[in-house]
Amino acid sequence: MNTHTGGGPDLGTVVVGVDGSAPAKRAALWAAAEADRRRRPLRIVYAADLDRLTLFASAEAIDQIHDTGRELLLKIALAAQERFPNLTVVRELSRKDPVSALHMSAGPHDTIVVGNRGLGGFGALMLGSVGLEVAARSRLPVVVVRGEPDAPDTGTVTAAVRGTADRGWVGYAAREAQLRKATLRVLSMWNPLAHAGSMATMLDGLDEMAQEHARRMEALVEPLRRAFPGLTLTTEVASGTSAAGVLVEASRHTDVLVMGARRRPMGLGPSLGRVAHAVLHHAQCPVVIVPRRGRNGEEA
């Protein structure tokens, strides 16, 4: 059973990867809370990477990997069910590498959750390579769990948008806010310096452009107001020269930050744009990357 009411996408099972690290355990508990809100199962995946390791590891080492994986899966499952007694938990010990295992375990409506850093990462890195690759390659929503573990709820979900082209994914943010009984804050960025050097940079012209940007935001959210009549929804146009800086600051005052990420055609060029990449490394709350594809393959 799920809690799909009103408009927007049906949110499926929550799939989380674990590796024994503290960030992965925190991600698993975050994922458990998300699955409980959705009234959907939680699938916990341990990627043993046996397809590669069996080429050179001993039988004893392989057995140890199996035992370690099973013990960890059971430990995390028990912790999740202790917090959420009605939660259905599925454990999966995969032979694949972590990135492949998570992608293969998730269905078409599911959400993948990863920690911000795993056992293989360096302490100085803000996001582990596995988490970054999962977010970059996935065709499903991916949550990178960041921020302080015991941060108080703000009652807000923030959707970072560019314009009406984001209609295809912003419903995910609305559903997330609906599940949390939170306010949806639709935040967009407007850089007045982008128009420097033209006659439009006169003050009256800038004011008119700012108003036009605000009107486009209202056009974006109007369908959401109709689809989610009980949802409190606000719009905000932030001005500045650094979209990443605006979003990292916004992440300090929201429970979840949701972004759309375009994929370049045929996998050419960076999989995530500069803004998404910076936010994933520096945000102060969990970040959801929802895939999208621009008509000309622009990066997010």
pLDDT digits (tens, 9 = 90+) for 5-46: 455 667 899 999 999 999 999 999 999 999 999 999 999 999
- Residue 132: its pLDDT value, please? 84
- Residue 228: its pLDDT value, please? 95
Secondary structure string (H, E, C) spanning the chain: CCCCCCCCCCCCCEEEECCCCHHHHHHHHHHHHHHHHHCCCEEEEEECCHHHHCCCCCHHHHHHHHHHHHHHHHHHHHHHHHHCCCCCEEEEEECCCHHHHHHHHCCCCCEEEEECCCCCCCCCCCCCHHHHHHHHHCCCCEEEECCCCCCCCCCEEEEEECCHHHHHHHHHHHHHHHHHCCEEEEEEEECHHHHCCCHHHCHHHHHHHHHHHHHHHHHHHHHHHHHCCCCCEEEEEEECCCHHHHHHHHHHHCCEEEEEEECCHHHCCCCCCHHHHHHHHHCCCCEEEEEECCCCCCCC
The ranges of the chain with pLDDT < 50 are 1-5, 121-126, 199-200, 268-270, 295-300
Q: Which domains does the chain have, with CATH numbers?
A: 14-145 (3.40.50.620), 156-291 (3.40.50.620)
- Residue 127: its pLDDT value, please? 55
pLDDT digits (tens, 9 = 90+) for 204-245: 566 777 777 778 888 889 999 999 999 999 999 887 778 999
